[in-house]
Amino acid sequence: MTVMKIGIIGSAGRMGQALVDAIAADGQEYAGGVDKGDDLAALVAACDVLVDFSSPHAIEANLDACVAAGKPIVIGTTGLEERHHFLIDDAARDIPVLQTGNTSLGVTMLAALVQQAARQLGDDWDIEILEMHHRHKVDAPSGTALLLGEAAASGRGIDLKQHSDRGRDGITGARKAGDIGFASLRGGSVAGDHHVIFASEHERIELVHRAEARAIFARGAIKAATWLTRQKAGRFTMQEVLGL
């Protein structure tokens, strides 16, 4: 097995130590980490692949450094806006980029199941996505909830932006048929719970994933990073890592 040198962008964050542990457990080499103000170019030069769990504000600089050095990058940062995705698409013309709202292998499988269920069940099945995270999380809905919403929308053949229902409060009226609803809970130290509910007349299907430790995201990210080093330039997903 070829040992890959893996660098971490956002190494002082909550995921930093989990990623370092996952790199060692996978038999890879930790090439170092950077945070705001550190020498990003030096780290990129010393790596075979980068894993980014930093901030949306740093995406452009991180991508520019990787493109300049011709290095692949896994982006697990959440809270991205449309302009960030344009930047990722542009970088993916030159380097392999894998961007995802969740690097967990279990969530990746859940998304595939959600897509299949949405495709097979009719529009009379309402889709609701409920997520809960620790009290420190700053964005909502979570990147994972949006990932699952995109999976459901893809299965239905619809645009999530045009069929997304968030933040219900007060007299909102009856549920709009075909919409995908989102609800977010925050509290305690929850690593991440996600429920996708398909509800029809007199029956309900619930697909659930519970993250019990950040290690699951770290393991998935390192698996994605080593896989990405074997790819040509392009934009990839976690489902492709699992061959789904």
Q: Is residue 178 within 8 Å of residue 126, measured between CB atoms?
A: no
Question: Residues 84, 133, 194, 209: which is the catalytic one?
Answer: 133
Show the CA angle centred on residue 221, arms to residues 108 and 190, nearest 5°.
70
Residues 119, 175: Cα–Cα separation, whole Å: 20
The answer to whether 57 is a known catalytic residue is: no
Instruction: Kindly state the helix (H) or strand (E) to which residue 148 belongs, with its residue range.
Output: helix 143-156
Residue 170 gets the label, from left (phi > 0), alpha (psi -120 to 50) or beta, of left
The answer to whether 137 is a known catalytic residue is: yes
Residues 234, 91: Cα–Cα separation, whole Å: 8
Residue type, 132: M
CA-closest candidate to residue 54, choices 39, 87, 76, 80: 76
Question: Residues 5, 36, 134, 137: which is the catalytic one?
Answer: 137
DSSP state of 109: H
Per the document, the length of the chain is: 244
Show the beta-strand stretches assigned E in 1-95: 5-9, 29-34, 49-52, 73-75
Tokens of 81: 């806006």
Q: Which residues participate in catalysis according to the annotation?
A: 133, 137
